Every structure is written in C-alpha cells, then in structure tokens.
Structure 1
Amino acid sequence: MLQDTQTIRYYQRLTDALVEMWQRGHRSDDLRLFLDGYLAGLRHSQAMEPYLIHRLEEEAIRFLYDPFNFETPQPQAEADYY
C-alpha cells in the first residue's frame, strides 16, 4: 500500500493515464510500454527515492493486470414499475 503523498499522486496520474489510453483503443502491450517509460522517467529524473519508485511500480503493475480496472460499465435498464 502506498503511503507517501507524492507517490500516491504519481500513482493516480499514472492509473488515470492508463485507463484513458485503454479507452482510446490502446491495448495491454502499449500500456505496459507506457508504464515502463513513465517509471524510467521517474528513475532518471530522481524525482523520488528508488524504494518509492519500486513500490509505485508494484502497485501500478497490480493495477494494470486487474481486468476490472478496464471494464466499461454498462448502463442498467430501468425497471418498469406499473
């Protein structure tokens, strides 16, 4: 579980971007490449401590491989009450 506020912000940005990319038609290979690039950018910029980047990576991979995160909710039909 992420506890550092900066790491949580990066996680939220990252997962929002992954879902948006999925909705635009990108598939899991593209999302994984994006995730790898995002993490490489964080490592290169030294924006966070390496152990926090590792935790972020673990959580983001868990998010990426959970199919429920990328399902589009289907509208429910309204029940007719007479």
Structure 2
Amino acid sequence: MQFDDQLRRYFGRTDIDAVPAEAIAAGVERMRVDLGLEKDRGRRFALWCLLFLMGDAPDLDIAFKDAADRDAARNFMDLAQGDPPLD
C-alpha cells in the first residue's frame, strides 16, 4: 500500500489539506469499513495506521487480535508522536 494511493482512494486526492471536511469524514468512514472487512494483516495494519494519523483509529484491542500486531501499533503510535519505541 502506497500512502498517496490510499489518500487518492479514500479522499480523491493526495493533498489532504485540500480535502473538504465532509469528504474527510466520508473517507474515514470508508476506511473504517474496509478495516473491518480486511483479512490481510499487513493491509489491516496500514489502514489502521492511516486511521491513527487521521485521529480516528479504533482501539488496539478491537483492531488487532494478535498481541504482536498490537505491539507494532503501539510502536507506530510512539514513532508518529515523536516518542522512542519501547523495547
């Protein structure tokens, strides 16, 4: 999954700052539906990360059944927020 491709898919463009608020809400809703339907772990993780960056990711316990996936998501959260990951 390429970041620009995902922005284009869900928001119709790669410049997220140019997307109207109602289109953001609709794109985030489509992403949440796709996250719920996605079976591939890597694609689920990528969708969850994009949702996290958009401020609308579901809780880790809901999004990931596997503890390793939850740990990876916590590391991503730390990195995205500028905190060093915990070992």
Scaled by the length of structure 2, the TM-score of the pair is: 0.39
Q: Which has the larger radius of gyration?
A: 1
Scaled by the length of structure 1, the TM-score of the pair is: 0.41
Structure number with the bigger relative contact order (C-alpha 8 A, sep ≥ 6) is 1
